[in-house]
Amino acid sequence: MSNQRSLDMLHQNAGNWLLSRHLFIYSAPPAVANTRAVDFGGRGGAIANPGAANRADRAGYIQTQGHPAGRAARIMAPGAMAFMAVDAVQEVMGYIPMKRATDFNLMHDGFFDTLAGFGGVRFAITSQITNCCFIWDKGTNRIAHLQPNAGLTGPALRAGLAQRGGGWTLFGQGTNMGNGEYVDGEDVTIIGVNSGGWRIYAQVHTRANTDILRVVEL
């Protein structure tokens, strides 16, 4: 299957696509929300040390060891990696930056970006989540990717945001692997799909061997 066909299938039926293919988003994060051209495709080139902790090697490990050939893909800034995807296709997508949550009780409009600001793009992406919390206000299409500040744990951030309220849909680190939670030792890929309206999905996978555990529509 071509990378373009795979990307089109992700747009047409993201839930099924994410259940069968690991999606890893590697992109140098800008400081503000914007639209940017990204490359989409499978791995190209050899990985010297698949077990290394750094993300450059891990991206290759995900795609060579975690699933059979053709069952994984990645999104990254063009030219960002030496092992650029073979026959990658380029598409403009919305990018949601990660922000530091200094105090969840002081959440204000400045923490949020908006999907409407991305115009007519098909996808919105953010960097991979390991202990952060993703927030979506469906009524206003405001979104935020929040990282716990020093001294604030991932579960405490999610619990605090939930207690504070605001009508948000949350996906953050917790303890029970419910529909709005992932647990320590899991990674999460968040992607928004725009098809006459936005739908946002969380693909949860193990950090060690990249097995897909579940896909949740927020």
Q: What is the 8-class DSSP label of residue 116? A: G
Domain boundaries, the chain: 3-217
Stretches in the chain below the pLDDT threshold 50: 44-71, 78-85
Q: Across the strands, what pairs with 216? A: 202
Phi-psi domain of 140 (left: phi exceeds 0; alpha: psi -120 through 50; beta: other): alpha
Closest CA to 129 of 189, 83, 77: 189
3-state secondary structure of 39: strand
- pLDDT value for 72: 53
- pLDDT value for 86: 52
H or E element in which residue 7 lies: helix 3-12
Closest CA to 128 of 61, 207, 38, 57: 207
- pLDDT value for 49: 32
Separation CA 143–CA 138 (nearest Å): 9
pTM: 0.82
pLDDT digits (tens, 9 = 90+) for 117-163: 998 999 998 888 988 999 999 988 999 998 888 778 888 888 888 88
